[in-house]
């Protein structure tokens, strides 16, 4: 499973879906829509910790950074 800037703030700890498979979360640290800090805190509630990649200076839509995003996703898929 690959989650890109997931809006986990919509779930509380009891209802947050738990992936039962390898999982990658990619988030920009300058996300103006979904708080990166909130996402990182909520990921701490996952039973199985996902692989996490925080892209420095990337916003929610990864403007100008889609090639870099693709490299991260491709690396996860090919591992």
Predicted TM-score of the model (pTM): 0.91
Q: Would you call 69 helix, strand, or coil by DSSP? A: helix
pLDDT at 62: 98
pLDDT at 67: 98
Split the chain (79 residues) into runs of 10 and give each run's mean pLDDT. 94 83 97 96 90 98 98 97
Judge contact between 51 and 70, C-beta under 8 A. no
Maximum Cα interatomic distance, the chain, rounded to a whole number of Å = 36
Tokens of 14: 């009891």
pLDDT at 14: 79
- 3-state SS string over 22-47? CCEEEEECCCCCCCHHHHHHHHCCCC
pLDDT at 18: 85
pLDDT at 13: 75
């Amino acid at each position: 499973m690959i989650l890109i800037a997931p809006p986990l703030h919509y779930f509380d700890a009891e209802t947050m879906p738990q992936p039962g498979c390898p999982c990658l979360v990619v988030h920009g640290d300058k996300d103006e829509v979904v708080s990166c800090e909130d996402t990182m805190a909520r990921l701490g509630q996952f039973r199985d910790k996902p692989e996490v990649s925080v892209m420095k200076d990337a916003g929610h839509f990864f403007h100008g950074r889609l090639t870099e995003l693709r490299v991260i996703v491709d690396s996860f898929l090919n591992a």
